């Protein structure tokens, strides 16, 4: 059968991996897909850089739009990143009847609803396995492998840069700035690491996972985002002493009144498998009512790991492109007309547990006053540490773990605690999840 013809938009790290793996595994892929898969051309802004990435055999062009809509192209693989012109090019390819594969989590988190609606209208597929967790096939797992389940929650380490930084802070006892510099030196962090360390990259990914887990539209504007740049080594050390590790998690959970959607540093019991995911690795835990807890682990970035997911999408589309559009797997797992309008909860409505580090004067009665305030707001203490912090031992760190409560109550209690004249610094608050 005639090979499926692929246009690559972008000639960076992922595109180079796609070209290498397609060439290396072409016979195997043909056996799986039923026909060959070949790249017909690559669109790139910098010809010299593109040649180094994809070799000399493939035609290059600077005309992204022309390649995206070229008559003899079957699938457009958008691997350039960013919002524009990626959005414009993807929509143009869809209108021209091309299937699309993308690794662009930001594009889908912000404009996925528009893109999926256009794809449905024009009878084409948009595949995006590589947009979340790199080489881990988490999209297919949630959308298809766990289709029998009512998904209860999804929680994941879905940004390798922040996981590397947190692992370094714990293992080496270094501060955030030192760990970040090491990540940049080793190539795990960009020169401008803002999207990673501020949680934005993870927020894009958990937004997509939320949509396919619960059958709701993508809603990036509703996700709560907190990064790791304010984390201190002391908090990582105290968490260890209490039997926990701190990870930046993306969490989405079915709740009584809606859906939680949040990214923040989180204490996880050190006995959980996901708490022991170190370095730049990714892991996602999915809780289903029938299957229970499942863990998906692997490389969340890199040339060939991400190419693995891109090419898996190319194989899927090659298998299904002649199928009736009504018989294909829906983009967001649920039929387009069956997406729910379940609300995304604001953070004050979320129910979770907390880690509090409160620096106070080392005086009698201070701890009793703090616990009394928490009790008045309906909160109980799960565990407690008290550690000297100053050279003169005139102040101390009080570390508390609470049982579950609504965040609004915690906000109110912390406002009162912070106002105490015995509290000497801003209270550090982190959320805690048992993931069970």
**Active site positions, annotated:** 205
Q: Could you tell me which residues are beta bridge partners of residue 153?
A: 253, 287
**Which residue has 């010299």 as its token pair?**
48
Collapsing DSSP to helix, strand or coil, 293 comes out as: strand
Whole-angstrom distance, CA of residue 126 vs CA of residue 128: 7
Whole-angstrom distance, CA of residue 338 vs CA of residue 148: 16
Q: Half-sphere exposure of 161 toward its Cβ, with a 13 Å CA cutoff?
A: 25
Collapsing DSSP to helix, strand or coil, 58 comes out as: coil
**Which residue has 């084409």 as its token pair?**
124
**Which residue has 């610094």 as its token pair?**
425
Instruction: Give 3-state DSSP helix, strand, coil % of the chain, rounded to 5.
Output: 40, 25, 35
Cα-atom radius of gyration of the chain, to the nearest Å? 24
Alpha helices in 123-246 (DSSP H): 138-140, 160-172, 176-185, 194-197, 200-214, 233-241
21, 311 Cβ separation under 8 angstroms? yes
Tokens of 430: 């982190």
Terminal-to-terminal C-alpha distance of the chain: 49
Alpha helices in 34-104 (DSSP H): 47-54, 64-68, 86-95
DSSP secondary structure letter of residue 144: I
Give the H or E element holding residue 154.
strand 151-157
Nearest to 89 by CA among 7, 152, 24: 7
Q: Could you tell me which residues are beta bridge partners of residue 100?
A: 76, 126
| Burial letters 230-264, b for 16+ CB under 10 A, else e | ebebbbbebbeebebbbbbbbbbbbeeebbbbbbb
Nearest to 238 by CA among 353, 391, 360, 396: 396
Nearest to 18 by CA among 37, 46, 44, 45: 37
329, 321 Cβ separation under 8 angstroms? no
């Amino acid at each position: 059968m005639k090979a499926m013809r692929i246009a690559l938009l972008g000639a960076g790290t992922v595109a180079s991996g796609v070209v290498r793996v397609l060439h290396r595994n072409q016979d195997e892929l043909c056996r799986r897909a039923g026909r060959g898969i070949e790249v017909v051309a690559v669109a790139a802004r910098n010809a010299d850089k593109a040649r180094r990435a994809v070799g000399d055999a493939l035609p290059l062009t600077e005309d992204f739009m022309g390649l995206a809509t070229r008559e003899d192209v079957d699938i457009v693989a958008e691997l350039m990143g960013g919002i524009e012109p990626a959005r414009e090019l993807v929509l143009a390819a869809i209108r021209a009847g091309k299937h699309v594969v993308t690794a662009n989590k930001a594009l889908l988190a912000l404009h996925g609803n528009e893109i999926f609606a256009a794809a449905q209208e024009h009878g084409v597929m948009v595949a995006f396995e590589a947009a979340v967790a790199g080489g881990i096939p988490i999209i297919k797992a949630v959308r298809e492998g766990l289709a029998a389940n009512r998904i209860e929650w999804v929680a994941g380490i879905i940004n390798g840069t922040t996981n590397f930084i947190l692992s370094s802070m714990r293992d080496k006892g270094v501060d955030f700035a030192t760990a970040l510099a090491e990540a940049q030196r080793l190539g795990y962090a960009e020169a401008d690491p803002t999207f990673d360390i501020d949680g934005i990259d993870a927020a894009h990914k958990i937004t997509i996972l939320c949509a396919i887990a619960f059958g709701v539209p993508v809603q990036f504007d509703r996700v709560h985002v907190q990064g790791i740049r304010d984390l201190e080594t002391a908090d990582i050390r105290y968490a260890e002493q209490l039997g926990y590790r701190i990870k930046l998690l993306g969490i989405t959970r079915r709740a009584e009144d809606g859906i939680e959607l949040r990214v923040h540093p989180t204490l996880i019991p050190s006995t959980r498998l996901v708490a022991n995911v170190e370095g730049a690795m990714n892991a996602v835990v999915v809780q289903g009512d029938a299957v229970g807890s499942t863990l998906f682990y692997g490389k969340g970035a890199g040339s060939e790991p991400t190419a693995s997911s891109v090419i898996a999408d190319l194989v899927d589309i090659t298998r299904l492109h002649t199928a009736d559009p009504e018989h294909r797997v829906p983009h967001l797992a649920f039929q387009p007309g069956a997406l729910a309008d379940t609300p995304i909860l604001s953070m004050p409505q979320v129910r979770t547990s907390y880690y509090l580090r409160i620096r106070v004067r080392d005086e009698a009665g201070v701890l009793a006053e703090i616990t009394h305030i928490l009790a008045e707001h309906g909160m109980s203490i799960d565990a407690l540490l008290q550690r000297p912090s100053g050279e003169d031992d005139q102040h101390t760190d009080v570390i508390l773990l609470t049982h579950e409560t609504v965040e609004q109550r915690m906000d109110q209690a912390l406002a009162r605690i912070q106002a105490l004249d015995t509290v000497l610094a801003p209270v550090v608050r982190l959320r805690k999840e048992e993931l069970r």
